[in-house]
Structure 1
């Protein structure tokens, strides 16, 4: 690891915040994807149930 001198706290905290934001964005994307898939499955199930009547 390079010697960051007096800026070490600032640089490392910026890296930590950036990584936390990236992890949050990935988690949010996965959560929204799962919700969208569940909604789509529900809509398709209703459509298929209505078709079979």
Structure 2
């Protein structure tokens, strides 16, 4: 396959897009881990997402 005179730019663009997608996937997975850990800590303190908020009337 001949990409022509701009083959370096085309390959670099695809590589950059691939790395960006990988970085976004990693970011989401890391954030999920952090949020799960925070929810677990709150649950251990007796705070639940399902408890009604006593401040609302």
TM bucket normalised to smaller? 0.7 to 0.9
CA distance in 2, matches of 1:3, 1:25: 31
The answer for the alignment partner of 1:51 in structure 2 is: none
Question: RMSD in angstroms over aligned alpha carbons?
Answer: 1.1
Q: TM-score, normalised by structure 1?
A: 0.83
Q: TM-score, normalised by structure 2?
A: 0.78
Mind listing any 5+ residue stretches in structure 1 that lack a counterpart? 49-53
The answer for the alignment partner of 1:20 in structure 2 is: 19
Mind listing any 5+ residue stretches in structure 2 that lack a counterpart? 48-57
* Structure in which a larger fraction of residues adopt helix: 1
Matching of residues 29-40 of structure 1 within 5 Å: 29-40=28-39
Structure with the bigger RCO (C-alpha within 8 Å, sep 6+) is 1
Which 4+ stretches in 1 moved above 2 angstroms?
none
CA distance in 2, matches of 1:43, 1:3: 57
